[in-house]
Structure 1
Amino acid sequence: MAIQSQSTVSLPTLVTQSTQSLLNRRVTNEDSLYHICLTVKKRLEQLPQIKPYLNLAHTSSELLSEKQALLLSQQQQLNNQRHSNIGPGVGNLSNTNTNGTKSVGDRRISAISNGSFSDDLDLSNLTIEETVVTFSMGILPITMDCDPVTQLAHLFQQGSPLCIIFNAVKPQFKLPVVSSDDQKICKKSIYDFILACKRYFTFSDEELFTISDVYSNTTDHFIKVLDVVETLINSAPQVFPHIPFEELRWMNTDQGKIVREFVETERKYVYDMEILNQYRNQLLHRGIISSEELKMLFPNINDIIDFQRRFLISLEINGQVEANKQRIGALFMHSKHFFKLYEPWSIGQNAAIDFISSSFDKMQGSDFVIANKLELQSFLLKPVQRLCKYPLLLKELLQQSTSSANSKELELAWDISKSIARSINENQRRTENHEIVKKLYDRVVNWKGYRIAKFGELLYFDKVSISTGNANESDHDFEVYLFEKIIILFSEMVQKKVNSISLKKKASTTSSSTLHLSGSGNSNANSPGGPNDSKLDLRGRIMIVNLNKVNPMESRALNIIWESPKEHGNFILKFRNEETRDNWHNCLQTLLRQVRSESLKSSSSNSDRSSYSSTTYYPHNSMSSLTSNPNRRISDVLPRHQTHQSFENEYRSISESYRSSIPETTLLVRIAFQNDFYTVLVEINSGIDNLLSIIKRKLTHAGNISKIKYQDEDGDFVMLESEDDWNVVKDMLRESSERILNVWAFA
């Protein structure tokens, strides 16, 4: 029996084993819930008086299986009625069973998946037992009427079969056997059985189950009932003789061997997750770590185990039929959206590993099922490893498939499994990117007034070779970061090498650093900066809104073409491999589609485009000067800051002679107020209070001025009200060699 937290029948033997033996332990059909139920059913069939109840349980289980299959066949209609209660033709499926539980509720119907499932349907608030009416996922092979787990569950819900089992084991303490469709009478029989087990078998309350457990649709509760029943029949082998397991002959074929590997590795995975949950419950009961820490380490582990048990049951069922009758591909199609249960796990995995590294000392106990830090980390990695294993197994099955119908399902399943693996990797990448952004903030020596918080989410980063496509120009390496709103480039700053003599003679000057482009590849190309977190110099940027085309090229390259109202150009990124290039290409194409979609929705799309004219980008000649002289300042190679469109005419009217006449220590502040323009001169070294005072005096005739805003380099209008705001403005103007500041005043 696979170990789970609620069962205590086989727990003591596991606790005494070493963690390493748990990791390497081979899990067989004796640990499989499917085979345990199949064996228990066959042993119960040896008792003549229980056969009618087994037949009745088979009939009700078969009906549920048909209902589940019908629900799946109605999926297309459900997709068109995403939030409707029940699709056409299945209105009678929400009736109450004879046991009093709803076989198919509204939420159950709305969450069944067949691969064409509507992606915008929210499953986050649903659990497996609310959406699946049997103990197996998907639909059964055509030669299977029902699964043995659901059949036994319905057998126990009748109540009287439990009393028959008890009487066969303890005939001297016979219980009354009352057969009835009345659920109250069934529950009375279940209560009599529980009380007799407690009295005559010395079960503790923790080892027994409740009446509610019998009628529950969760695997945890079912296993509690099954453990007690199995203990009873094992105590009377003369009444319930052991049934040997028979190996299927077709499993020796090439496809059979792959299915066997699929099933056996899935058994092992479920077993390992149950061990991990057992360890979690030991931590919980001892109160060793907080509930928040438990949730971070083992997010929704109970839901995952419940789903994977049902998934395994379906795999086991398919393993019992010949290859051309299997529906393993359909199983993945039906389970597609339940794999979303793993999202919290994949997102928080790095944090969990870090927590274990720093806090495992307090997470130990002499009787804990896991007692080693490294092996706990190994257990925590298993979910992601398993999800990444599915595409490999499905690909092998697809290559061996001889049935066209099965091949199509397996091909769809393969695509689904690859999509799941990509999603998991994407979640982990996003989590890692958040940490990269935190480090990046400190690595950049001078942000030149740019605000990283306005870049959006970091999507990709890498060390990339950049050129303009000119054969006469050499390529140079940059660390390139792709955010939702901007592509930004950095060069690495390193200590200038000097000999020992210069160190002695010029000790006062050797501490200065010189900008240069790294000529060698990064040892960790996917983690710019590597372990030393070297300092970076900001060299250039281009706003996503100014991109025109993104075209893949040979030699792992990507040609990025940009266009603004006044200029246009291109630059070429050369990546380490085609996969990285394709990831960037797909991501940039998605961002471009979003930008264009937003532009179409906006009635003022043209003015919106011009509002981004303050963004900087690499025109062809600017890239040339950057790559030919990597030590130049960013202000030397990038176009100067362009003002807002409302200032453009007046900006042109200022002559170069007047502009050059502005004292070096002074800024010309131009104020836009109620469609008029005003100018004042302000000392660069003056404080914010002096600036605001001068502006307000200039506009005394207009009354009280409540707000002053400026336009930053991202085109956003920012309040100018603190000394920090004023320092950012001065840095921005200094780096762009600008002597004119445009502000907007509001009464």
Structure 2
Amino acid sequence: MAVNPSVSNVSLTSVRSNSTHLLMNKKVTAQESLYHMCLMIKKRLEFLPQLQPYLNLAHSSSEILAEHQALLLSQKQQSQQQHRQRGSHYEGSSAQSTNGRLSSSSTLHRDSSFSATSFGEDSEHSQSFNMEDTLLTFSVGITPISVDCDPVTQLSKLFQQGSPLCIIFNAVRPQSKLTVVSSDDIKICKKSIYDFILGLKQHFAFNDEELFTISDVFSNSTDHFLKVLDVVNTLLNAAPEVFPQIDMSTQLESQRLAKPQTEYDKIVKEFIETERKYVHDLEVLNKYRKQLLDNQIINSEELYMLFPNLNDIIDFQRRFLVSLEVNGQVPSQKQRIGALFMHSKYFFKLYEPWSIGQNAAIDFISSSFNKMNPNSTNFVIGNKMELQSFLLKPVQRLCRYPLLLKDLLQHAESDSKELEIALGIAKSIARNINENQRRTENYEVVKRLYGRVVNWKGYRIAKFGELLYFDRISISTSNSNEPEKDFEVYLFEKIILLFSEVSQKKGSSISLKKKSNSSSVLHLSNSSNTNMNDFTKNTGKLDLRGRIMIVNLTQVAPIDNYSLNIIWESAKEKGNFILKFKNEETRNNWESCLHQLLRQIRSESYKSVNTNSDMSSFSSPVQYSHNSVASIGSTLTRQISEVLPKSHMSNARQSFASEYRSISESYKNSIPDTMLLLRVSFNNDFYTVLVSLDCSAEDLLLAIKRKLAHLGVITKVKYQDEDGDFVMLESDDDWYVVKDMLKESNERLLNVWAYTN
């Protein structure tokens, strides 16, 4: 009797669809999920009385594993809580229950401090946890209190006994019986599995590719378990008179009709059904990946770029679905869907490479799909649109979880604490997905921007920090005589840059309102209007028309018409400009980002002044710390006065007074407009050097070296820029930036630091 293993309904079938609609909208039934596959096979095995003791033993083993898994999760959670509360008194600890799932349940409900940790977080504490050691079963997290174990783990434990496989073989082919030896000795169990595999080869014409290995039986991988399940299911189908087919759909429908469906129940049903579809789509994608690999169509690097972590993601999502299916079988008040997210949040980090590389994958498909898909009917995905849609599935699913949890939370009839925590986790995951994609896009934008700007005027784009936002924005000032102009605006961590297209006339510029008569820090000019898609991919040349350092911003306030009023102040002047956005959401994003940057600057300034104050008792009035960034340079004087409490101002002023004590105001005012006074700090002493602003960087460095020649060989010179950073002064580009900075602040004095190594 020969059995064709291709008739199994467990394996993913290879179907090439000529229609994107047919493949993307294929309905996935409950019988196609791993949970119901195992439930059906278990019920079929129960028709054979000889297997019942083995099924009972497998049930007991699975129950112990479920309890141990719940206990591990509880211990990890308690350890996290203690880590967060380290240094503070911990109260309210209660005795731990002897039942692992009961203990985990009570702990989860007690833990009001459990927070939504984003999947992008990589704290030292969370990294010390290996969450994979909590995967003792084929479900994630803990099972509801009324459920002992899941059927997937139970079948896995059944097959690991070895002898049940031999019993199944004998029931299907009694004329070629295998020896049945029941034992808990792992070696004897493996010998029985080996006999089973050998029997399939000899009597059922299975080949090695269609079979599993002994290691597959004891593996904790869903991929390996599915290979075992596929073979067993094929064998059962060969003897329907011994293992009758079961119509699970009829049973599921009768169960659904047996109880009234609340809104909560309907949402849970939708949750599970859409999760089944998602896992099925991942498996389709994985089959396509294997087809590309087997046919050597693209290399391994391209495969990973297209499908990063796909095997790990599928393994996790199968377990996640099993847990959802388990919860769907119990009343709503006993479900632990919220806890499922709480225990799964670390596994969602698997999606980080996927979210970061998705844009690159889509671009690769657009340019290389023809070589990826030769004229063959064996490929499960048949066109470019299908593949792009499948690659978008993971991100779309992660962004849908918050919506489903929000609906569950709104209709929950029992304690919703876990659902509230789960919603926070899901939102955090979705935010980080969007943030990763935004950063990836911004990285590409910065690369294009670098080549688009005709003249960077000595500025180094690497010093701007990360690009946070960019847009085409209408800009005006509070001066009613100046018209509103459009610019390409880029918000970096340290600076706001404004550009106009080179083709525009530079004469149509406006200056920002200011309180002094000196030239404005920022000048704007006109730019043509384009839509956002054209803007992000535009390669037209740009002219740098204005910039404002974040450290110089003093106020950011929303006003009417989706606008932000931004007030800036440098050492010598003040001004404002108004950014008008296309919608309220964009305006709010920019506002929030700018406020966050300002808080960070103020926090660093506060710490710096405190550090300088703490060191004052150890230093002479002439000495100061090179690390006290906020206390060095006149540019930051006004900034510190804006952000520090008055109690700290005396220390700051003393520091500045100490720095400038040896140079009188009258002497500084006497410096010609064409000259610059260098105040060189070396070995806790100061030296002055007068140089021409027209000199080269080489001449300037030579003048400093000559001044300090008797003290040693000067090898490098640094200055402090407007951001408070210490920057090497070694080229004409550096010198150009310095002169531009001094011109804006109307300064004739520059503090530099000289070093001998």
TM class by smaller structure: 0.7 to 0.9
The superposition leaves residues 348-401 of structure 1 with CA deviations (integer Å, 9 ceiling, x where unpaired) of 101111122222232224233223222211111110111112222223333333
Aligned length: 674
Pick aligned residue for 2:632 from 586, 603, 611: 611
Corresponding residue of 2:542? 535
Separation in structure 2 between the aligned mates of residue 169 and residue 386 of structure 1, nearest angstrom: 42
2:148 corresponds to 1:145: yes
Residue 531 of structure 2 aligns to which amino acid in structure 1?
S
Q: CA deviation at 1:312?
A: 0.8
SS in 1 for 2:341: helix
Output the amino acid matched with 2:418: E
Match runs of 1:256-267 below 5 Å: 256-267=265-276
Aligned to 1:419: 428
- 1:123-522 map, 5 Å: 129-245=132-248, 246=251, 247=253, 248-249=256-257, 250=259, 253-365=262-374, 366=376, 367-401=378-412, 403-405=413-415, 407-466=416-475, 476-496=485-505, 517-518=525-526, 522=530
Identity %: 62
Q: Which amino acid aligns with 1:531?
A: N
Alpha-carbon distance between aligned partners in 2 of 1:644 and 1:163, rounded to the nearest angstrom: 90
TM-score norm. by structure 2 comes to 0.78
Q: CA deviation at 1:697?
A: 4.5
Amino acid at match of 1:45: E
Distance in 2 (CA, whole Å) between partners of 1:557 and 1:683 is 40
**C-alpha spacing 1:658/1:170, structure 2 compared with 1 (3 Å):** closer
SS in 1 for 2:546: strand
Provide closer, same or farther for how the CA distance between residues 709 and 148 of structure 1 changes in structure 2, counting only shifts above 3 A.
closer
Distance between the aligned counterparts of 1:280 and 1:50, measured in 2?
A: 38
Aligned-partner Cα distance in 2 for 1:649–1:522: 55
Task: Give the match for residue 47 of structure 1.
Answer: 48
Unaligned residue ranges in structure 2 (runs of 5+): 1-5, 85-92, 101-110, 508-522, 614-627, 640-655
Of the structure 1 ranges 584-593 and 380-389, higher mean CA displacement relative to structure 2 is found in 584-593
Distance 1:549 1:134, change over 3 A: farther
| Distance (Å, rounded) in 2 between the aligned partners of 1:616 and 1:522 | 41
Which amino acid in structure 2 is aligned with residue 591 of structure 1? Answer: L
Closer/same/farther in 2, CA of residues 213 and 412 from structure 1, 3 Å limit: same
| Aligned-partner SS, 1:462 | strand
Distance 2:291 2:125 in 1: 33
Distance 2:167 2:266 in 1: 41
User: Of 523, 531, 540, which residue of structure 1 is paired with 2:531?
Assistant: 523
C-alpha change, 1:35 and 1:613, in structure 2 (3 Å) is: farther
Give the 3-state SS of the residue equivalent to 1:340 in structure 2: helix
Q: Distance in 1 between matches of 2:474 and 2:215?
A: 65
Return the letter of the residue paired with 2:355. Answer: S
- Write the deviation string for residues 241-285 of structure 1: whole angstroms up to 9, x where unpaired: 011111122485544333332222211111111111122222223
Q: Give 2:385's aligned amino acid.
A: L
Distance 2:27 2:145 in 1: 31
CA separation of 1:7 and 1:78: change in aligned 2, threshold 3 A: farther
TM-score, structure 1 as length reference: 0.79
**1:426/1:694 Cα in 2 relative to 1: closer, same or farther (>3 Å)?**
closer
Q: In structure 2, what is the Cα distance between the partners aligned to 1:127 and 1:22?
A: 37
> Is it true that 1:586 corresponds to 2:592 in the alignment?
yes
On the 8 A contact 1:234/1:240 being kept in 2, the answer is: yes
The Cα of 1:681 is off from its aligned counterpart by 4.7
Q: Could you say what secondary structure the match of 2:538 adopts?
A: helix
Structure 1 window deviating more from structure 2 (268-277 vs 724-733): it is 724-733
Comparing 709-718 with 51-60, greater Cα deviation is found at 709-718
In 1, Cα distance between equivalents of 2:241 and 2:714:
97
Aligned partners of 2:8 and 2:234 also within 8 Å: no
After superposition, give the CA deviation of every residue in 1:441-460 in whole Å (9 maximum; x if it has no partner): 23334333322211211122
The 8 Å contact of residues 689 and 703 in structure 2, kept in 1 or not, is answered as no
1:575 to 2:581 alignment: yes
Q: Is the 8 A contact 1:391 1:414 kept in 2?
A: yes
Listed as ranges, the gaps of 5+ residues in structure 1 are 1-5, 95-111, 499-514, 619-642
3-state SS in 2 of match to 1:650? coil
CA distance in 1, matches of 2:727, 2:657: 13
Deviation track 1:482-524 (CA, whole Å, cap 9, x = no partner) reads 32233334455543599xxxxxxxxxxxxxxxx9644886521
CA contact (8 A) 1:40 1:230 kept: yes
Q: 1:417 to 1:162 in 2, by over 3 A?
A: same
Structure 2 equivalent of residue 659 of structure 1: 672
| 1:529 to 1:410, Cα distance in 2 relative to 1, 3 A | closer
Deviation per CA, 1:170-201: give whole Å up to 9, x if none: 10011111111211111111111111111111
Structure-1 residue corresponding to 2:14: 14
Match of 2:618 in 1: none
2:686 is equivalent to residue 670 of structure 1: no
> Judging changes above 3 Å, is the alpha-carbon distance between structure 1 residues 604 and 208 closer, same or farther for their aligned structure 2 residues?
same
Query: Equivalents in 2 of 1:330, 1:746: separation in Å?
Result: 58
Distance 1:356 1:653 in 2: 68
Instruction: Give the aligned residue type for 1:26.
Output: K
Aligned partners of 1:733, 1:599: CA distance in 2, in Å? 22
The residue identity in structure 2 corresponding to 1:244 is: D
How far, CA to CA, are the matches of 1:473 and 1:688 in structure 2? 39
1:529 to 1:60, Cα distance in 2 relative to 1, 3 A = closer
Partner in structure 2 of residue 35 of structure 1:
36
Counterpart residue number, 1:60: 61
CA distance in 1, matches of 2:601, 2:736: 32
Give the whole-Å Cα distance in 2 for the aligned partners of 1:568 and 1:518.
Answer: 23
Q: Which residue type is aligned with residue 392 of structure 2?
A: L
Structure 1 residue 226, shift from structure 2 partner: 0.5
Query: Which residue of structure 2 lines up, in the alignment, with residue 23 of structure 1?
Result: 24
**1:134: how far off?**
1.3
Per-residue displacement from partner, 1:433-477 (whole Å, max 9, x unpaired)? 111112222333433332221121112223344556677876554
CA RMSD, aligned part only? 4.0
Q: Is the 8 A contact 1:67 1:93 kept in 2?
A: no
Name the CA shift for 1:131/1:538 in 2 (closer, same or farther; >3 Å).
Answer: farther
The alpha-carbon deviation at position 167 of structure 1 amounts to 0.4
Q: Kindly indicate whether the alpha-carbon contact (under 8 Å) linking 1:669 and 1:743 is maintained by their aligned counterparts in 2.
A: no
Q: For the Cα contact (< 8 Å) 1:129–1:218, is it kept in 2?
A: no
